[in-house]
Amino acid sequence: MLYWLEATAAAVAIRDSLPVTALLSGLHVIGMAVSVGAVVVMTLRSAGLALHDAPIRGVIDPASRGLLGGAALSLTTGLLLVLPRASGAVENPYFQRKMLLLAVAVAFHLLLFRRLAPRASRVTGWLGAIDLLLWGSVAVLGCMYTLVE
Amino acid sequence: MTIGSLLETLEASAAGTWVRESTWGFAIVVGGHILGLALSVGVLAWFDLRLLGVGVTGVPVSRVFRRLMPWAFGGFALMFATGLLLFAAYATDAYPNPWFRLKLIAMTAAGGNALAYHLITERTLARWDRAATPPPAARLAGGLSLGLWASVVLLGRAMAYTMF
């Protein structure tokens, strides 16, 4: 199936075009930056370190949408970037760790931090710091995967 | 000293050699560059959205700037420091690269846009600090900042793909 994916018209078009690959890679990084920025804003508000004059829902809800929107952009462009080299990617240890950590980051955000953040306490501040560490680690592992490739 | 010999000196420096030849130097510096970019551009985007009247409209513009920008400045410092190290390692390849030059132009334009906002538009801040929708000049500054920094990221990737 991975070899079939690598032979699809989309994979061939991406593999044969450096501008398309660079554009997808740039959008991938922009999506990641949007996500990390949103986590920083959520963490600061939740820990009571910034924007505490705003209703907490007025910060957490749009920031969470920003985080998931950025992650969706990164995921879409990331899948397209992996398409031409799918068989190599699944065997790459950095790619495997990145995907695992991405799943953990999404689950941690949606199931724990997103639900508890509106309570705004020191605990939620620490949860935000963990959220930020997870998303930052996903970014660094993505970088390592690109370098190894 | 010509530009060519300056670039060669940079490449031969201890920092340039470490980034280029050590096992983990390049990976550590690129990782730091990406993290710095995510922190700086990602947080700055929230101030830009506030200027556009799209995000955190319940908080005065001055307070969003004061509370969030130190984080963005930290990210910028990391991004510039690691960017300089990467340039030192591959100076002779980077300097003639057209995408690198376009990236520098976009960064300079982003800096000019921020300077114009602080020197001109911000003078009247007291009048619209709490307004959900700031005046057109402030919205223009926010929109330009978002577009220019997105361009910097895209041009940076184009540079990387045409150099390595």
pLDDT digits (tens, 9 = 90+) for A63-85: 888 988 999 999 999 999 999 98
| Residue spans of chain B under pLDDT 70 | none
Q: What is the mean pLDDT of chain A?
A: 88
Rounded to a whole number of angstroms, the distance from the CA of B1 to the nearest CA of chain A is: 34
> How much of chain A, in percent, has pLDDT values that exceed 70?
100
Model-level pTM? Answer: 0.88
Pick from B31, B39, B157: CB nearest A26: B157
Report DSSP state, residue B72. H
From the list A38, A77, A36, the residue with the least C-alpha distance to B49 is A38
How far apart are the C-alpha atoms of B21 and A147, rounded to whole Å?
Answer: 14
Rounded to a whole number of angstroms, the distance from the CA of B72 to the nearest CA of chain A is: 9
Q: Do B37 and A33 touch (CB under 8 A)?
A: yes
* Contact assessment for residue B146 and residue B44, using Cβ atoms and an 8 Å cutoff: no
Tokens of B131: 């307004």
Q: Which residues contact A127 (CB under 8 A, 6 or more apart)?
A: A46, A112, A113, A116, A117
Element (H, E) at B107: helix B98-119
For A4-24, the pLDDT digits (tens) are 888 899 899 999 998 999 999
Q: Which residue of B has its CA nearest to A57?
A: B56
Alpha helices (runs of H) in B53-97, residue ranges in sequence order: 61-89, 91-94
How far apart are the C-alpha atoms of B19 and B27, rounded to whole Å?
Answer: 8
Q: Which residue of A has its CA nearest to B63?
A: A51
Q: Which residue of A has its CA nearest to B62?
A: A51
Q: Do B161 and A25 touch (CB under 8 A)?
A: yes
Q: Do A54 and B56 touch (CB under 8 A)?
A: yes
Q: Which residues contact B24 (CB under 8 A, 6 or more apart)?
A: none
Q: Which residue of B has its CA nearest to A52?
A: B59
Reported confidence tier of residue A136, pLDDT bands at 50, 70, 90: confident
Q: Which residues contact A106 (CB under 8 A, 6 or more apart)?
A: A71
Q: Using a CB–CB cutoff of 8 Å, tell me whether B156 touches chain A.
A: yes
Q: Quickly tell me which residue has 């705003």 as its tokens.
A: A54
How far apart are the C-alpha atoms of B63 and A49, rounded to whole Å?
Answer: 12
Report DSSP state, residue A112. I
